[in-house]
Amino acid sequence: MKVVTIKDVAARAGVSPKTVSRVINGEDHVRAEVREAVQRAVAELDYRPNAFARSLSSSRSYLLGLFIDDPVSGYAADVQHGALLRCRARSYHLVVEPVELSRPEWREQIRGSISSLKLDGAIIAPPVCDEPALVDLFVGAALPHVLMAPSVEAMTSGTVRMDDERAAREMTEHLLAFGHRHIAFVQGPVSHSASARREAGFRAAMAAAGAAVDERAVLRGDFTFRSGMEAGERLLSLKKRPTAIFASNDDMALGVLITAMKCGLAVPEQLSVSGFDDTASSRAAWPQITTIRQPKAEMAAAAVDILTDPRFRRQMGDPEFHLLLPHALIRRGSTGLCLAA
Amino acid sequence: MKVVTIKDVAARAGVSPKTVSRVINGEDHVRAEVREAVQRAVAELDYRPNAFARSLSSSRSYLLGLFIDDPVSGYAADVQHGALLRCRARSYHLVVEPVELSRPEWREQIRGSISSLKLDGAIIAPPVCDEPALVDLFVGAALPHVLMAPSVEAMTSGTVRMDDERAAREMTEHLLAFGHRHIAFVQGPVSHSASARREAGFRAAMAAAGAAVDERAVLRGDFTFRSGMEAGERLLSLKKRPTAIFASNDDMALGVLITAMKCGLAVPEQLSVSGFDDTASSRAAWPQITTIRQPKAEMAAAAVDILTDPRFRRQMGDPEFHLLLPHALIRRGSTGLCLAA
DNA sequence: ATCTCTATTGACATCGATGTCATGCTCTGG
DNA sequence: CCAGAGCATGACATCGATGTCAATAGAGAT
């Protein structure tokens, strides 16, 4: 169980440990031949730097934290995966920290990870990125952090987001283009700031097209499959039944779709259904659901890039650290021409 | 930006750093009043031990690794969540490491995490836990590790599993009890050892009931929704159409179910469908899918318990470290009486 | 030929905790 | 009343890397 240390490498290469350290960290001021000798020694001994010793002495941890509300969701999985791969490419590691805002000890837990693990940076996913008390913890600790899809661009934090409102507008226009006028909308939970933006986009597009929004056909959901089913049931039993339903995420859209099938409605012939996010649920259905592709993995990867960019610490306010990533409307089988009388 | 160290606490409590360390780590040989004084000082200064310094000097890292093939799947999410919560309760942290067996550098990456992060233990999820070359990396490093749902109980590793064969038998019996005789089976990929066990259970139950297995109605899938749809299409176009389809995981069962709806078949009146695992997909459908609840989070939590149990290191062969967790058959709407002529 | 100046290198202290071991104390029992 | 056991505590070295700074050597300037 012998552990190879930097001293062993130094001895083998005939240099001092400090020089080995320089080579490992890609610093300047090392002659090419010495560098090669060290690299050879590293390879021969299969040397791996001890991450803890390195962190202790350099006060960098090479660790990023991912703070997330519901780590079981498909959304979380995509975000985590994107962050993980980019971390690996940058020789960082990722620590996932579930945040349970419902339990009072969440502050303690977060402060514990920050100061115990000496995180180099944090990625804060929705919806907890909209909790000011939480973000303040990071600001207070002067810990670089990036908010994903936040409601506002705080100047003390980096941000990575997509244009929810515009995307929702485009989706609504897509439905309008098919001739739909009576379009229902299933809202997301108020705790997600994206909910409001998506609804605003829907209303803006309707208004621009001169189509009235039937307020009885605007229902609140909570981004779950079940809430989508419930909304679907209520919408389909309306006297004036909508010809299209725009659910503000895919899980709810799937719920609506399943409900439509239960009611014997053909999709998209008798009812168009559209979602948002492009999570697995939108593909696990038939017809597959027309949706907005949210670049979740890319957003997470961009967050990692920002946090590991050495310039970031000094320039949190730099616009370069407020990214807007492009979305895309993905046309699939669940939306089509309005065939209503 | 002042960091509180153990020395500060020691000074405040009027004792030596070593004594503070004893209190923090709950060691014996500290007078009650001294212990209290130290705890008071810790609280007043809001002291948090530096995880890196601790790891460096104690050669324990308080880190567990979770090695997993496809971190985006619903299965992975459940496993991870179970492990995460238990880690937190035990003051450990979890590092998730995706393993891409398809890329040649996977060995390097794993060896890097093991020796760089000095993991205290590893949880190896299916299907990679059945890759001997991978497990050998941990055995070779003498790193305690637990295999989840492995094909065999290696004596060099801990194991946590469920009885896949028996569960599959029970599910088959459930269908047989509804009067089904012509039952189709959708196999999992050969890379998952659980696939074979589930199929064996299916065949055993069929044989015990004297029901013949129609080999044309046994198709291979790969645990994805899409492969379930494809299997469904082929099964439903068979001349001798099965009255029940048992898919060996939920994603495929969902694919089968959707295909049945496309074909206009009523479930469960004209076709019973059952799945396995109790992942989100089994509930994101209508009717909801009858399935086997696999205790994924519990298995992961148990793995954490095993790895953090101080006795484990010396007694890997101890039967106590080979757990079999109970499953359950969850009856939902997708299975019912066989109404075929 | 001498003097800067800079590129290269290593000695040594340091990060913040824990392991080891020595010390002094209290308590038991003969 | 004292030897010996055991408890409570602290001094000091240590884990394995990096930061600081001084020392050296060679290049170029005068």
Q: Which residues contact B136 (CB under 8 A, 6 or more apart)?
A: none
Q: What is the CA radius of gyration of chain A?
A: 25
* Structural domains of chain B, count: 3
Which residue places its CA closest to the C1' of nucleotide C16? B53
Residues of chain B neighbouring A80 (CB-CB closer than 8 A): 71, 96
Angle separating helix axes A193-208 and A164-177, nearest 10 degrees: 40
Q: Is residue B259 within 8 angstroms of chain A, CB to CB?
A: yes
Q: Is residue B58 within 8 angstroms of chain A, CB to CB?
A: no
A50 and A20 Cβ atoms separated by less than 8 Å: no
Name the residue facing B95 among A80, A95, A116 (closest C-beta): A95
Residues of chain A neighbouring B3 (CB-CB closer than 8 A): 115
Assess whether A187 and A157 both reside in one domain.
no
Sorting pLDDT into bands at 50, 70 and 90, what band is A110?
A: very high
Assess whether A199 and A265 both reside in one domain.
yes
Assess whether B168 and B309 both reside in one domain.
no
Q: Is residue B59 within 8 angstroms of chain A, CB to CB?
A: no
Assess whether B34 and B65 both reside in one domain.
no
A156 inside domain: yes
Question: Is the pLDDT reported for residue B1 higher than 70?
Answer: no
Confidence at residue A320, expressed as pLDDT on a 0 to 100 scale? 64
Q: Is residue A258 within 8 angstroms of chain B, CB to CB?
A: yes
A14 inside domain: yes
Confidence at residue B228, expressed as pLDDT on a 0 to 100 scale? 97
Cβ of B209 less than 7 A from strand D: no
Averaged over B39-64, what is the pLDDT?
A: 94
Report chain B's terminal Cα–Cα distance, integer Å: 79
Share of chain A above pLDDT 90, in %: 77
Strand D: which residues 58-117 of B lie within 7 A (CB)?
A: 59
A148 inside domain: yes
B271-305 burial, b for 16+ CB within 10 Å, e for fewer? bbbbbbbbbbbbbbbbbbbbbbbbbbbbbbbbbbb
Q: What is the DSSP string of A75-102?
A: HHHHHHHHHHHHHHHTT-EEEEEE--TT
Averaged over A29-39, what is the pLDDT?
A: 93
Assess whether B154 and B228 both reside in one domain.
no
Distance of A224 CA from C25 C1′ (whole Å) = 66
- Best mutation site among A286, A288, A289 for testing chain B: the one with the most B CBs within 10 Å? A286
Tell me the per-residue pLDDT of A67-84, one tens digit each, with 9 for 90 and over.
999 888 889 999 999 999
Averaged over A34-52, what is the pLDDT?
A: 95
CA separation (Å) from A26 to A10, A21, A36? 16, 8, 12
How much is the mean pLDDT over chain A? Answer: 92
Q: Which domain holds residue A118?
A: 58-162+296-308
Name the residue facing A116 among B48, B76, B261 (closest C-beta): B48
B332 inside domain: no
Name the nucleotide nearest B55; use CA and C1': C17
- Contact (CB<8Å) B262/A286: yes
Q: Is residue B273 within 8 angstroms of chain A, CB to CB?
A: no
| CATH at residue B239 | 3.40.50.2300
- Contact (CB<8Å) A225/B50: no
How far apart (Å, rounded) are the C-alpha atoms in residues A107 and A101? 9
- Contact (CB<8Å) A116/B258: no
Averaged over B1-24, what is the pLDDT?
A: 93
Of residues A164 and B319, more confidently modeled: A164
Averaged over B176-203, what is the pLDDT?
A: 97
Assess whether A149 and A88 both reside in one domain.
yes
- Contact (CB<8Å) A49/B116: yes
Distance of B171 CA from C17 C1′ (whole Å) = 54
How far apart (Å, rounded) are the C-alpha atoms in residues B137 and B156? 12
Confidence at residue B313, expressed as pLDDT on a 0 to 100 scale? 57
A279 and A61 Cβ atoms separated by less than 8 Å: no
Confidence at residue A340, expressed as pLDDT on a 0 to 100 scale? 72
Confidence at residue B3, expressed as pLDDT on a 0 to 100 scale? 87
Distance of A17 CA from D21 C1′ (whole Å) = 16
Assess whether B10 and B88 both reside in one domain.
no
Sorting pLDDT into bands at 50, 70 and 90, what band is A318?
A: low
Report chain A's terminal Cα–Cα distance, integer Å: 78
Q: What is the DSSP letter of B211?
A: P
